Structure formats: C-alpha cells, structure tokens
Structure 1
Amino acid sequence: MPDGPLIVQSDRTVLLEVAHPAADAARHALAVFAELERAPEHVHTYRITRLGLWNARAAGHTAAEINATLTEYSKFAVPASVSAEIDETIGRYGKLVIERDDEGTLLLRSTDAAVLTQVMRAKKVAPLLIERRDDGSQVIEPWARGQLKQELIKLGWPADDLAGFTPGTPHQIDLDERDWHLRDYQQQAVDHFAEHGSGVVMLPCGAGKTLVGAGAMAAVKTNTLILVTNTVSARQWRDELLKRTSLTEDEIGEYSGLVKEVKPVTIATYQILTSKRKGSYAHLELLDALDWGLVVYDEVHLLPAPVFKLTADLQARRRLGLTATLVREDGRESDVFSLIGPKRFDAPWKEIEAQGYISPAECFEVRVDLPFEERMEYAAAGDDERYRLAATAPAKLDATRRLIEQHKGERILVIGQYLDQLEALSQELGAPSITGATPVPERERLFQAFRDGEEKILVVSKVANFSIDLPEASVAIQVSGSFGSRQEEAQRLGRLLRPKQSGLTASFYTLVARDTVDQDFAQNRQRFLAEQGYSYSILDAEVPAA
C-alpha cells in the first residue's frame, strides 16, 4: 500500500500512524506476530519479537504471509534485514522435533545435524539427553520433556513437540446444544486445539472461553483437571459445565481451600495447588489422583510461577490454556509457550465485537488534580509511597460520585487496589464492597444481587478481576490498580464486555492523578487495549464526559 500506516524500522520496531484510514486493518494484522510497546496518542510502537513470530508460526502463519503484511501496509520499503530476520526466525521453528519411537522412547530429532549438535552440547541441555542413536537422534530422559523444551527455546530453537499424549481415563462428555451452539470462532478454537493437543486459545473476556473449554472436553472425552484463579471462578465453571454439557453434579468435583473432592472432572484453584505445608507442596497428589487426559488452565497469563515447574512434569497430558492476553508481568511468556503450548487460536476483540458477541466499549482516562498540600506530600515521599498517595487521592471520590450520577440507573463497578480507599468509597457511596476478606458465600450473594438488579453499584477489589460473570455491568470506574499491569486492564475492561440485554455501550473510566506516577502507570496499562483497537479519551475531572 503506497503511503500506508506503518513504518518498519531496521531494529524490528514498527510505527503505526493511528489516524491513518487503514490503521485498524494494519493493527489487526500486526497483532498476529508483533507486540505493542508504546501507545501514545498519535503513533503506536510495535516490536517484532522471536516469540511473537514463533507463536504466529505455530498458529499456522508463514514468513511469506508476515512479510506480505508488512509490505502491504508500509509507507516505505521494508528493510531487507527485517524480512531476512523474519524468514530466519520462522525457519527455526520445527528444525527440532520431539517424538517417540515404536517402543515409546522420547527422541530429539532434527533435519539439520549441525543444529542438533549445537544444542546437545549446551550446558543445560546435555544432562537431559541419554545417548545418540545411529540415525543421529538423541534419546531424551523420560522425565525431561518439559524442561528440554524450556532450555531449547532459550537457545533460540523452539522444539515442535510431536511426542503425543496419554489418552487418560475415558469419560463420556457431550455438549448439550439443545438451545445453544458453539459460535464459529469457538468451534474453530476447539478444532485447532484438538488437532494439536496442547496450546493456548486467546479470546476476549466475555467471548466464551469457558465454552471453548467445554468444547475441548467434549472433543477428547477424558478425565479432566481444570485449574482456575479462585473459588468463585470454580463455582462458575461448575455451573456452566452443568448447563452446557452432559455432566452431572456427581461427576464434577471442587478442590479448593473449602472442599477437597476428586471426581472425573475436578476444578481446582491455583492457590490450593501452590500452597505449602512444612516447606513442600501439600496437594501435589492431585496431579496424579486420577489419570487425567486433559488439563485446562483458565486465565493462563496468571499461572503462578510454581505451577510451571509442576506443568513441566505434565507434558504427556493434553494441555489447554485459556486467556485474553499472553502478556505476563513477570516476563515468562516463553514458559507458557514451552510448557502449556504455543498460541493455537486468536480472535481479535474488535472482530468479535463487530459480530455482536461482545459489547462495544468506550474508554476514558479521567485526570484529577492534587491540591497543593497533597502535591507537597507527594513530592516529599519516597518512591515506594508515591504511587499509593497518587492512586488514593481523595479527589477521586468526588470524581467517582459525579460519574455515578452521570450513569444513574446503570449497573456500575467501582474497582480499586487499596482496601482503605475501597472502604471509604463503600461508605460514601452507600454501596456494598467485595474484597479478598469477603467470605465466598457473601461474594456470590452480592454478585447475584448485582446480576438481578437489586444492587446497582458494587465496590470491588482485584478479586473481581478474574472470571466473574456480570453481564449487565455497563460502567467500570477504576480508581487504582496494580501499578502498570496490562493484564489487569484487560481483565477489568473484560467485566464490561459481556453482551447486555439493555444494549448499552460499556463505559470504562480510569481515574488518574495528573502529573504523577499514577499517570505514567496508566499509560502502560492502556497498551494492551490500544493493541486491541480501543482508544482512550482524556477527560478533565472537572468537565463532565459527553
């Protein structure tokens, strides 16, 4: 495209001119293989990374397609060095293959003997290999399948794992589609997963990731372990499975801090799996309690670090990761790629919105000013204290009250990070609050009252970030967050994206203290939403939104 919206630079950064007529189409095409790094108002900066290219390759995209995308949308000629780097990087995927021989022995093979020789001599790879066979393949330690994949990707040679999976104990699971059916993109996600047996499906919040999980379970029909973020999420998974599949209550168990049931389909929390007693993990026996044929990781971008080690030992079982974003604040995206599997399916948020499956949303950043006394306190504070002072600025209470008045009658979530701030908001607004200290039965009661319209406003902590189904929420007011977490921004907007009977467009407000680290962190959080095609309008707290 002459005069396109992209400028591709030799350092593998890509600049996107936001106001260009083709910007949305270019953004969607870029999201397949590039990561958004900065998203100021007029020009967004993307970076083409190795992991992004390998995820694209695993999802079926070729180097030729990726280079064609850059050429089509670029304003100037794409640097030859970038095209060559894309070809070379994509070509590395699949040069190494993990498979089994007829006796079931794990083998590492390569079409390039030099590559195989190079990796087998690496200090951390050599101990994972037992012997070299006459055909050049390397026998792998039976326990080392996951660890080997981690080490190979660090060396820049991601292995294509074709060693197959244990079938697990068969268990009949069918979808009950009498009054519903999988949407086209959900069925595609199930099909892509079933073809490969491991990997990550990316869908926006509200687009039915749980239904994709149910579809995968019905496809493989085996005992299934489902790992979720918290107990409320576990209950929602159970309710959806009872509603959408042939499973009965006797077939679904909950394994959490409250209940310890092991059944053909068991739903466990990450917290219980990572809890320790006398220095060792107390519930690891759950991983071998039944012959699981499928492990589902809900919100895989939040997978706690200890679970990676446990997952390295589960490589013979099918693994499905579900998430709205592969972004991890700890930088361990390559471990998701290695141990859960690469991205198998990705549906852009805006495409699903255009089909009417998730609600349209408008995003606003509302800037409040700190009074002179608070600015002086902020200026004198240490680095650790400055964000708390800015994030909990009292001026945010007045701004919240005005926004609620503006959206009177709608169902509103006020979301924050600091408990004292949330308590003050709850009291001032006369609205119930839900935090980590709220007992699960009380949380479920309040969430249901909100769904039923008995409660119009809920003040919630980060416990509402994850897997909470509140379809009629049309307004979220974010008063404080986890510093610059892009994960959290995606999760919080996701609370508003379920289709609404009211037909209202969702409104997502972030309250920010002007000229503070609060504003800096907000810019980082917004990167993920900008990548999905959402733009932010900047508002002054003293001026009502349109």
Structure 2
Amino acid sequence: MNQDKPLFVQSDKTMLLDVHSPRAEEARVRLSQFAELVKSPEHMHTYQVSNISIWNAAAMGKSYEDIISTLEDLSRFEIPQSLLFFIKDNLDRFGAIKLTPYDNDYHLLTVKGSLFKAQIISSKTLMAILQPFSEDSFLVPWYKRGEIKIQLIKLGFPTDDLIPLKKGEKLEINERDVTLSKKSFSLRPYQREAVQAFLGSRENEKGYGNIILPCGSGKTVVGIHAMCELKTHTLILCPNVTSVHQWKREILDKTDITEDMIGEYSGELKEVKPITIATYQILIYRTTESDEYKHFSLMTDHPWGLVIYDEVHMLPATCFKVTAEIQSMYRLGLTATLVREDHREAEVFSLVGPKRYDTPWSVLERQGFIAKAYCHEIRIPLSEEAAVEYATAKGAAGRYRIAAENPLKEKVVEELLNKHEGDRILIIAQYLDQLEKIKKRFGFPMITGSTGNKKRDELYDAFRSGKENVLIVSKVANYAIDLPDASVAIQLSGSFGSRQEEAQRLGRILRPKEKDSHFYTIVTKFTSEEDFAQNRQKFLAEQGYSYEIESPDM
C-alpha cells in the first residue's frame, strides 16, 4: 500500500479520489479519459467506469495498457480483477465492429470474432439492413449508416466508424480580438483545449463528439471557435427561439461574419444561409402523426460542413432519425450534462459521437470562470387548507402538485426579495397557476411558453440592461438563456426530482460576476416534494456545492 497514491478503486466500478492529495489534479486529468465524474463534494470525488466511458476512451485511442497503467500508478490498493475484466471486455467490443468505405452506394461493416458475428446474424432487425458480403463482413446501404450504429449499440456493440467526414462548403470566418460590444475577446484555456480535443490533430482528424462544460462556462464560445477552425457552412440546432437569437448575437459579436450570412430557421422564419440556426422543434414539426416531417430536408439538402447540437442532452428522440442520416458531417454536441431521462445516452454516443472533453464545475469555480454559488433549501409546512387537500388527494402527481403550489411559499419569496433587494433575481416555477399568483402579488414581468418570442427577447434584454431586476419564469428559461448578471434564483417548484433541470436552473446564475450567487429551493416538508428534493439536493452536493437546509417557523 502506498499512502501517496490518491485513488481508491472498488469492485463496483467506482473510484474515490482524495482531492487533498498533491496528485489530485494529475489524477483528475488522467481519470477523465476513461471514467465519468459522478460526485464531487468536499473531500472525495467519485468516478464511475461504464461501458460508454470505456468506449469513449477507445474512440480517443486509449488502449488497455494505457488505462491499467493509470490505475496502477494512482491506486492505493490492488485493482479488483472484476474491473480489469470489464475494461478489457468493453475495449474488445469497441474494436470488434468497424465501418469503412466501400463504394458510392455501400459501406463495409467488418466483424471480428465468431461470437459477435453470430449475435448479429441472429438479429432480424440487423439482418433486414445488412447484406452478407464475406465470411466476416456485410454491406450497409450508405443511407443506413446511422441506423445500423443505433441497432448495434442496442446490442452492446459500439461501431468504430472509420469513414472520412466530408469537409462541406467553405466559409471564411474569424474571431475578433475586440467584440462589437467593444470588449477584448480571447479564448479561455479550457475552451481552446475542448475544441482541440474535438478536432484532434490534423493528421488524425476527429470532428465528431460531445463537449461537456458547466452552465455559464461559455459553451457558445466553444462552438464559435470550432466554426472558426473548420471554416465551413454550419447548421446550429437549439432548444428554442430565444437561444437561436442568442447564438446569432454571439456570432455577430465575436466573429467577423456579417448579418446577411446568418439565417434563422424556426416557426417564424425559414432562412437558409451559410450559417443557419434552427430549433429542434421545427425539425420534428408535422401536421399529423402520419405526415412526413416537413423540415428534415434542412439537414440533408445543404452542403453543411458542421452541425452543432446545443444542449445535446435535449436532442428529441424523433431527431435521432435525421441525425442518423448525417453521419458524414462534422458533429459537435454541447451540454452541461449528458444525463437523459429516457436513458438514451448510448444513442447520443453512437450518432453524435463520444465525449471528447469535460471538466468539473468545482474546478472552473475555483479558477474564477464561473461564479461561486451557495445552495439553500427552505422547508416550510403546508397551509392548513392545503394539508387537508393533500391528505385526501388521489394519485402521486396530484399530491405532488398540491405540495409544490403551497400558498405559504409566497411569504418566503417576499422575505427573499427583501433580503436580496437590488440583486438580479429569477423566480422559477413549474406550474403556470403558481406563476400567475406570484405575478399578481408582486407585479414583476413574467415569461412562460405562451409569451411571444419578441416579448421574451424584450424582457430578457430589459433584465440584462438593469431596467428590470426581477423576472418570473417558467421552465422555458431552463435552457440556453444568457442572463450574465442574474445572481439569485428562487425555485418554487420543479419537474419532480430532475437532476438535469436542477443543473440547468443553477446554471442561470453561474456567469462570473463580482458577487456570489444564491440558489434557493422552497420545499413543503413532510410531503412527496421533500422526497424529490432530496434527489435534487444530492445532485448539487455531488457537484461540490454547499447545501444549507433551513426550516423557519411559520
């Protein structure tokens, strides 16, 4: 046993990293190549080895010897044999199936190992796509490239896709040294590292995969830098129209591209330009369930050289179909977390690409690139009237909503508004009735799904400029909204225990600023809302945030 080694490797495929060790930073960098950081509280960070994390490592060229030498160098105790077998098995799976060019109509799928081949042959779904070619290979129609990768990943077989990416039509685009808003502009070190990891060396180009960075760390800038490096026509896909406008604003501010070269493709406009920014929703729009998707051709009919998926964890399941059809393009996914409630992370890996880069929230906070944030949970009782309603309600969803809309929460909101008077504050809730009551009581402007895009932009701009210090927002503000001066978020209700939502809402207040940020969640105690809150609390604590629980007398 070596006391100087910072890592404790366990048979359940988790690894505990002592963050107080002099070798902790070295270990973090090396572990991130083949394991996922799942918890980062004060003293011990937890990493998880999974099939996807090992396939990510294989996609980045890491060998079994690379991984084991890292573990042996860092681990204080002997590495469990079961973990060694798991790593070897999944590395062998990654290299077993390769996709290579054949001719204009077909790709060649080569299978190494009789067991893997037997499992493929026994799959009716796969054999409806594949055409036997030789003893160890099959032909794949070129337009089934993505679909075959999806079907194989469902069987536990990642595809090593070796077909070269197309360059796309050229576009001259360069970053500014001084932005249009007259601010000096340069990339942060981790932003440059992220794009380098995405593209690889010019001798061994990658150009497809996901970059995972905390909310507030400048993922849009990462996307812009990738565009400037590749210099090609680019399609950017976003969760909503507000984020479309935000991307356009950032591109114009930080590059030399002109406005006439940027198109918006949404429910309001249908412009296709060298840089086109579209919503996921418009891609999956159809009049009825039996109709064709009217706008899928946007992805395939233009010579895009790069497709950027903003908030890639939100990629609608329906969009997997069209994503499967654009495997020849450079593809960049941007997100703060790859957690999906439908557990389809493996399909994101297969279609968009492996994780190319990530860095912990706590590291960027320590370096001053995102704000220091304090998380507070305020637990209050149900009002007497609501308590009776809760006790007699039928169904878990009904009880949860009664607890979430507890009218006593309004008093806590009032106290927090007084406490943070003068700060930029977001009041966030899941339920529209609850939002309407808050608006009626306090008179602040409100943004919900029914707020027109023009009005939304006006209110966001008023908040950014300081004309409005408080905004009431529904879950439409969870994603891709840049409100750099927001320093306080008051969460009245959420989507049950969604970790993804918690990360995104906290992200609204993580832009770096002179003062610390505060994230408040108001929870009704002794109800199902308290149970769900514990899941959200656990997620924040695992990211390294302090979490204070208060229970005031009411």
* TM-score, shorter chain, exceeding 0.5: yes
Structure 1 equivalent of residue 93 of structure 2? 92
Q: Aligned-pair distance for 1:45?
A: 7.7
In 2, the alpha carbon distance for the partners of 1:74 and 1:540 equals 42
Structure 1 equivalent of residue 372 of structure 2? 360
TM-score relative to the length of structure 2: 0.89
The one of 263, 267, 276 equivalent to 1:257 is 267
In the alignment, does 2:247 pair up with 1:237?
yes
Structure 1 equivalent of residue 150 of structure 2? 150
The one of 410, 416, 425 equivalent to 1:403 is 416
The one of 274, 277, 282 equivalent to 2:284 is 274
Structure 1 equivalent of residue 203 of structure 2? none
Q: Match of 1:162, as an amino acid?
A: L
The one of 165, 177, 180 equivalent to 2:185 is 180
The one of 523, 535, 539 equivalent to 2:546 is 535
Q: Match of 1:433, as an amino acid?
A: M
Distance change in 2, residues 1:245/1:315 (3 Å): same
Structure 1 equivalent of residue 123 of structure 2? 122
SS of structure 1 residue aligned to 2:95: coil
Q: Match of 1:368, as an amino acid?
A: I
List per-residue Cα deviations over 1:397-450 (Å, max 9, x = no partner).
111111221112111111111011111112222211111111112111111111
Distance change in 2, residues 1:461/1:106 (3 Å): same
Please say which of residues 99-108 and 63-72 is displaced more in the overlay: 63-72
Q: Aligned-pair distance for 1:479?
A: 0.8
Q: CA RMSD in A?
A: 3.0
The one of 257, 278, 282 equivalent to 1:247 is 257
Structure 1 equivalent of residue 218 of structure 2? 208
Contact 1:149 1:339 in 2 (8 A): yes
Distance change in 2, residues 1:454/1:516 (3 Å): same
Structure 2 equivalent of residue 311 of structure 1? 323
User: How do 1:42-53 and structure 2 match up within 5 A?
Assistant: 48-53=49-54
In 2, the alpha carbon distance for the partners of 1:498 and 1:11 equals 36
In the alignment, does 2:321 pair up with 1:294?
no
SS of structure 2 residue aligned to 1:181: coil
Distance change in 2, residues 1:458/1:67 (3 Å): farther
List per-residue Cα deviations over 1:291-323 (Å, max 9, x = no partner).
111111100001111101111111111111110
Distance change in 2, residues 1:400/1:20 (3 Å): farther
Q: Aligned-pair distance for 1:483?
A: 1.2
In the alignment, does 2:495 pair up with 1:482?
yes
In 1, the alpha carbon distance for the partners of 2:333 and 2:434 equals 34
How many aligned residue pairs are there? 540
SS of structure 1 residue aligned to 2:437: helix
Q: Aligned-pair distance for 1:185?
A: 1.2
In 2, the alpha carbon distance for the partners of 1:439 and 1:65 equals 53
Contact 1:39 1:526 in 2 (8 A): no
Distance change in 2, residues 1:440/1:347 (3 Å): same
In 2, the alpha carbon distance for the partners of 1:234 and 1:269 equals 7
In the alignment, does 2:161 pair up with 1:161?
yes
In the alignment, does 2:355 pair up with 1:343?
yes
Identity of aligned residues (%): 50
In 2, the alpha carbon distance for the partners of 1:540 and 1:11 equals 37
In 1, the alpha carbon distance for the partners of 2:64 and 2:490 equals 42
Structure 1 equivalent of residue 517 of structure 2? 506
Structure 2 equivalent of residue 456 of structure 1? 469
In 1, the alpha carbon distance for the partners of 2:229 and 2:273 equals 19
Structure 1 equivalent of residue 345 of structure 2? 333
Contact 2:105 2:142 in 1 (8 A): no
Q: Aligned-pair distance for 1:65?
A: 5.9
Q: Aligned-pair distance for 1:173?
A: 1.9
In 2, the alpha carbon distance for the partners of 1:450 and 1:98 equals 50
User: How do 1:78-89 and structure 2 match up within 5 A?
Assistant: 78-89=79-90
List per-residue Cα deviations over 1:251-305 (Å, max 9, x = no partner).
0000111111111111111111111124321222212342111111100001111
In 1, the alpha carbon distance for the partners of 2:40 and 2:186 equals 37
Structure 1 equivalent of residue 234 of structure 2? 224
Distance change in 2, residues 1:403/1:78 (3 Å): farther
- Segments of 5+ residues of structure 2 without an aligned counterpart are 179-183, 201-205
The one of 186, 192, 195 equivalent to 2:197 is 192
- Segments of 5+ residues of structure 1 without an aligned counterpart are none
Distance change in 2, residues 1:120/1:173 (3 Å): farther
In 1, the alpha carbon distance for the partners of 2:70 and 2:21 equals 16
Distance change in 2, residues 1:104/1:216 (3 Å): farther
In 1, the alpha carbon distance for the partners of 2:388 and 2:24 equals 42
Please say which of residues 91-100 and 158-167 is displaced more in the overlay: 91-100
Q: Aligned-pair distance for 1:90?
A: 3.0
Contact 1:36 1:527 in 2 (8 A): no
In 2, the alpha carbon distance for the partners of 1:21 and 1:98 equals 43
Contact 1:352 1:358 in 2 (8 A): yes
Q: Aligned-pair distance for 1:141?
A: 1.8
Q: Aligned-pair distance for 1:106?
A: 1.3
List per-residue Cα deviations over 1:319-354 (Å, max 9, x = no partner).
111101000111110110011111111122122222
Please say which of residues 374-383 and 113-122 is displaced more in the overlay: 113-122
TM-score relative to the length of structure 1: 0.90
In 1, the alpha carbon distance for the partners of 2:418 and 2:269 equals 42
Structure 1 equivalent of residue 403 of structure 2? 390
In 1, the alpha carbon distance for the partners of 2:498 and 2:31 equals 22
SS of structure 1 residue aligned to 2:143: coil
Q: Match of 2:52, as an amino acid?
A: L
Q: Aligned-pair distance for 1:454?
A: 1.5
Please say which of residues 109-118 and 250-259 is displaced more in the overlay: 109-118
In 1, the alpha carbon distance for the partners of 2:26 and 2:495 equals 31
Q: Match of 1:257, as an amino acid?
A: G
The one of 407, 416, 430 equivalent to 1:417 is 430
Distance change in 2, residues 1:262/1:124 (3 Å): same
Structure 1 equivalent of residue 181 of structure 2? none
Please say which of residues 140-149 and 374-383 is displaced more in the overlay: 374-383
Contact 2:32 2:358 in 1 (8 A): no
Distance change in 2, residues 1:431/1:63 (3 Å): farther
In 2, the alpha carbon distance for the partners of 1:75 and 1:364 equals 36
In 2, the alpha carbon distance for the partners of 1:174 and 1:81 equals 50
In 1, the alpha carbon distance for the partners of 2:396 and 2:5 equals 42
SS of structure 1 residue aligned to 2:257: coil
Contact 1:414 1:458 in 2 (8 A): yes
Distance change in 2, residues 1:480/1:6 (3 Å): farther
Contact 1:27 1:533 in 2 (8 A): no
Contact 1:39 1:523 in 2 (8 A): no
SS of structure 1 residue aligned to 2:487: strand
Q: Aligned-pair distance for 1:77?
A: 4.7
Distance change in 2, residues 1:236/1:455 (3 Å): same
Q: Match of 1:389, as an amino acid?
A: I
Q: Aligned-pair distance for 1:515?
A: 2.1
Q: Aligned-pair distance for 1:7?
A: 6.5
Q: Aligned-pair distance for 1:120?
A: 4.4
SS of structure 2 residue aligned to 1:511: strand
Please say which of residues 370-379 and 16-25 is displaced more in the overlay: 16-25
